[in-house]
Structure 1
Amino acid sequence: MSETRPPSSTCDTDVTRRPTRLLDMLNPCLKGRKRRCGRPTAHDTEELDQYLLEIAAGLFVQHGYAGTSIDQIARKASASKQTIYRRYPSKEALFIAVISDLTGTVLQAMAATPLKDPLEELRHISTLLLDLTLRPDSLGTYRILIADGHRHPSLLRQAVEAIGQPFHESIVRLLKAAESKGQIEPGNADDTAARLLTGLITGWPLEDSLLGLDPLKSTAEREAYFNRAWTFFLRAVGGRHGVPAA
């Protein structure tokens, strides 16, 4: 069951952060300052938001979704539970926020593509997707969803809606733009083509990474794999532009 918001309190009490992990030490909140009750500045609020997400992400990856509580996150962050519940009404909402923070940069890049050269833009977005998939924090999130998703179906549904669907829709959008410009053959700008591209780019590397096999260790290996997968995809859809240089 999700942890729900407790009765509200009159103020938050956040003390100096404890340098327990590298993640904590790199956080801009750790500047030897104490937070006080009262109205924080917008900058302070942004710093605290990011800090809480980083702390939560580390604990979720370390202990899993079921093994992590709002109490643990509050203690690790040296924050009150009310500080967290003011931002996220439940543990599910916090976990989805952690995933959204992880994938936000790539999703923003997808949404901002100008469609001047859709096929080349799709290639660029696909490289970002591969890089994101193989990040340790992303793999930790995948493992959580695999381990706990069946026990928390609403969590899995929210993750798909918040992350998976926007990725898929952005890829379809670029495929349709490429089709309209004659860059791919008609009939290849649909849901199936988008899923085939995603599977081709990330499927094997993700599977091996989840098994702890650590594929594509070097940048050269990753680039070589991506370029070959992209060439396979272009041939399948009749791509006429954006073939990577040899």
Structure 2
Amino acid sequence: MSEPPAPRSPKGYLSKALTFATRPLDMANPCLQGRKRRCGRPTTDVTEDLDQYLLEIAAGLFVQHGYAGTSIDQIARKACASKQTIYRRYSSKEALFIAVVTNLTGSVLRAMEETPLTNPLEELRHISRLMLDLTLRPDALGTYRILIADGHRHPSLQQQAVAAIGQPFHNNFVRLLKAAEQKGQINPGHATDTTARLLTGMVTGWPMEDSLFGLDPLKTEEERDAFFSEAWSFFLNAVGGRQIALAPQQVPG
């Protein structure tokens, strides 16, 4: 359920998304808000949540069996739903998989888009840290493995994943870099596509690579904090990052 718009600090938006991003998904028995769906005709409340439930069921099966090894039949049986219920929402298995991936990152993307540009450099730091946690989620890693293993057989999967996830993430990083440059928080000339890619690669590249190889980097929150702190300091040195005292909002007398 979406929150009503209200002025909130950047940490308010991001901490809410971080809670979602670090919530583990039960791959064996995905459920919605801790409740398993009963078979049979859904009640009104369950019907309202059915889209999310189907996405969680599909996510668990895709991660367990891969894209090629998962069928709409399997998803329907696991969800105690009919194939028609799924096809009314998603025209194909490919469309369902893209919806699963979009759902995985949707909360983080919304947090990025809703973040006010009052202190863009600080907001960029929070979002970069959030992206590190999202990257290391088991369901996110399972999705990456599917795209690597099956992407060459289904090139439209990769294209749609980039359009639905990769490009929006990138665009938001560039947006925050431009805002930071305009406020004098980074040196001119660094609000570019290349800078955004270097930042995301530095923060997520090595942890993702090791995780995809079956290793377990940054096991604890303390290890993640230490790694991110060093990466962020390196980034700030490269772009001349500095916190500028921003003018406070005027209070009516």
Partner residue in 2 for 1:215: 217
Partner residue in 2 for 1:9: none
Question: Aligned pair in 2 of structure 1 residues 72, 34: CA closer, same or farther (>3 Å)?
Answer: closer
Give the match's secondary structure for 1:151.
Answer: coil
Q: Trace 1:6-17 onto structure 2 (pairs within 5 A).
A: none
Partner residue in 1 for 2:142: 140
Partner residue in 1 for 2:75: 73
The answer for unaligned runs of 5 or more in structure 2 is 1-26, 245-253
CA apart distance, 1:24 = 3.6
Judge conservation of contact 1:29–1:48 (CA < 8 Å) in 2. no
Counterpart AA for 1:189: A
CA apart distance, 1:28 = 3.0
2-structure distance, mates of 1:218, 1:29? 30
Query: Which of residues 114, 117, 122 in structure 2 aligns to 1:115?
Result: 117
CA apart distance, 1:22 = 3.6
**1:98-124 superposed Cα distances (whole Å, 9 cap, x missing partner):** 011110111001001100000000000
Q: Trace 1:57-68 onto structure 2 (pairs within 5 A).
A: 57-68=59-70
Partner residue in 2 for 1:128: 130
1-structure distance, mates of 2:218, 2:96? 31
Judge conservation of contact 1:29–1:47 (CA < 8 Å) in 2. no
TM-score by length of 1: 0.85
Q: Trace 1:184-195 onto structure 2 (pairs within 5 A).
A: 184-195=186-197
2-structure distance, mates of 1:204, 1:124? 19
CA apart distance, 1:78 = 1.2
Query: Which of residues 190, 200, 203 in structure 2 aligns to 1:201?
Result: 203
Q: Trace 1:34-113 onto structure 2 (pairs within 5 A).
A: 34-35=40-41, 41=44, 43-113=45-115
Counterpart AA for 2:148: I
1-structure distance, mates of 2:79, 2:29? 13
CA apart distance, 1:77 = 1.0
2-structure distance, mates of 1:21, 1:145? 21
The answer for unaligned runs of 5 or more in structure 1 is 1-19
Question: Aligned pair in 2 of structure 1 residues 241, 119: CA closer, same or farther (>3 Å)?
Answer: same
Partner residue in 1 for 2:235: 233
Give the match's secondary structure for 2:30.
Answer: helix
Counterpart AA for 1:222: R
Judge conservation of contact 1:28–1:47 (CA < 8 Å) in 2. no
Question: Aligned pair in 2 of structure 1 residues 29, 46: CA closer, same or farther (>3 Å)?
Answer: farther
Partner residue in 1 for 2:12: none
Q: How many residues align?
A: 219
2-structure distance, mates of 1:180, 1:151? 44
RMSD: 1.9
Judge conservation of contact 1:200–1:229 (CA < 8 Å) in 2. yes
